Structure 1
Amino acid sequence: MMLSCPLCASRDTEHFHRDAQRDYHRCRHCALVFVPPDQRLGPAEERAVYDQHENSPDDPGYRRFLSRLFDPLRERLPPGARGLDFGAGPGPTLSVMFEEAGHPMAIFDPFYSPDTNVLERRYDFITATEVVEHLFAPGRELTRLADRLSAGGWLGLMTKRVTDQPAFARWHYILDPTHVVFFSEATFEWLAGHLDMRVEFPAADVALLQRR
C-alpha cells in the first residue's frame, strides 16, 4: 500500500519493516520512516504514556542527557538570545537550563503547556528534544517552527536516528508506541534543504539547523 509521507508528502514510499504491533514505511524521497496513521495511538492513550514520564530539572541525569543539545547550541547563541522549548513535556527542564544561562524562554506542549500564543512570536532559537519522533505531521510542524525563527536563528532537534534496516528491526526506539516517525541523517539534510537552512550534527542524536 502506497502511503503519503508525513514529512514531504511524497507518495513514493515503500514498506520498510513490520513487528508484532505496527508497520513501518519509508519515503524514498526524504528517507523518513513512519507508522501508518491508522496504527497511531489516540489522544487519551498518548497522554497516558506521557503522564508516566518523571523528568525534572532536579534530576542531574536528565540534565546530562539534555546537555547533548544544550552545550553545542549554547555555544552558538549570542548573549540574551530568546528561545522556545517546543514539546516541553510534564517536567520542563531544558528551558530552565537555558534560563540559568541567561536566555529568556517560552515553552509549549500540546498536553501540558498548550498556550498557542507563544507559537505566534519570533525567537532566536527553538528546541525540541525527544519530540519530533512523536509528530503526526512533522512537515507542517517543523515548517511552522522554522518560520518563527529570526534570521540566523537555530532550530535544535534531538532524536535518535535511523541507520539501516537490520538495525531498525532490532531498535528499542520503535517499541515506544508514541514514536511514529523516525529521522535519519539524510532526512535532516533533506529537511534543511527544504527549509533553506544549513544543518550540523554536533553530537549523538542532535541536529542543529540554522536559518540563513
Structure 2
Amino acid sequence: MPTCPLCASPHSRHFHHDSRRDYYRCENCRLAFVPPVQRLSPEQERAVYDQHQNRPDDLGYRHFLSRLFEPLKSRLAPDAHGLDFGAGPGPTLSLMFEEAGHPMAIYDPFYAPDTSVLERRYDFITATEVVEHLFAPGHELERLVALLPEGGWLGLMTKRMTSEEAFARWHYILDPTHVCFFSEASFEWLAKRLGMSVEFPGADVALMQKR
C-alpha cells in the first residue's frame, strides 16, 4: 500500500476506484489520497491551472474567498503581515488583505516562484484551494507553520471529505490536479501534530492557531 503523504504512515487501504484513478485512505490521519504513480506531471498540472480565470475584479471570486477572508481577518491584529501560499495566476486574496491593512507576500510554484518569501516570518499564512493539490502536504504544511510565531494563524480553504459513501459522487475528485482529500479528522490530527488548535468556521474552511 502507498505511504500516506500527510503523516507518512504505511497503513492505508484502497477504498475507491474510478475510470482514471485509485483512492486510498490512511488509517492513522484519515486523509484520502491518490497514489504517486497516478499523479499528473508538472507540465500537465500547469496546463490545467492556466485555464483558471480567477481575477481580482471578479466580485463572485471575491465572495468565494470571503469564506476564509472574513473569519480570519476578524482574528488578526492591526497591521498583521501575511503570506498567501499558492496564490495562483490571479492573486486576489492577498489584495483583499492588503485592502484591509495587512501587508502581504505571495508564493506560487508556477506563477510566483520566488522562494525567498519562504524564508521570512509571518503573522498569518493562507492557502485557498491549495492543500488538495499538494504531493507532500505533511512536509509543506510543517514548513509553513515554522514561519509563524506563537499565536500565528494558518488559514486553509479546501472542501472536506465527509464519508467514504459520498466520495464516489463527490465532484471534487473529478479535478485531475486534486490528489489529497482532508476530513475534519485529518485536520485534527494535523493540529495535534503541529502543536496548533483548529476550528472550522465554514464547511470548507479550517483555521489553525499556533500554540
Q: Tell me if both proteins adopt one fold, taking TM over 0.5 as the criterion.
A: yes
Which residue number in structure 2 is paired with residue 88 of structure 1? 87
Give the ranges of 4+ consecutive aligned residues of structure 1 lying more than 6 Å apart after TM superposition.
none
State the secondary structure of the residue aligned to 1:149.
coil
Aligned-CA RMSD value:
0.4
- 1:65 is displaced (CA, Å) by 0.2
Partners of 1:151 and 1:123 lie apart in 2 by: 11
Query: C-alpha separation between the residues in 2 aligned to 1:204 and 1:162?
Result: 10
Q: How does 1:96-111 map to 2 (within 5 A)?
A: 96-111=95-110
For 1:46-125, what aligned pairs fall within 5 Å after superposition?
46-125=45-124
Question: Tell me, which stretches of 5 or more residues in structure 1 are unaligned?
Answer: none
What SS is found at the alignment partner of 2:96? Answer: helix
Partner Cα separation in structure 1 for residue 16 and residue 96 of structure 2: 38
- In the superposition, the TM-score normalised over structure 2's length comes to 0.99
Separation in 2, partners of 1:108, 1:150: 19
Amino acid at match of 1:70: F
The AA in structure 2 aligned to 1:100 is E
Task: Give 1:16 shift.
Answer: 1.6
Return 5+ residue gaps in structure 2 as ranges: none
Q: Given that residues 83 and 126 in structure 1 are in contact (C-alpha distance below 8 angstroms), is that contact kept between their aligned partners in structure 2?
A: yes
Cα displacement (A) at 1:188: 0.2
**TM-score with structure 1 setting the length:** 0.99
Deviations 1:109-147, CA, capped at 9 Å, x for gaps: 000000000000000000000000000000000000000
Count of residue correspondences: 211
Amino acid at match of 2:152: G
The offset of 1:27, in angstroms, is: 0.1
**Partner residue in 2 for 1:187:** 186
**C-alpha distance in structure 2 between counterparts of 1:22 and 1:120, whole Å:** 36
Pairing 1:133-144 to 2, within 5 Å after superposition: 133-144=132-143
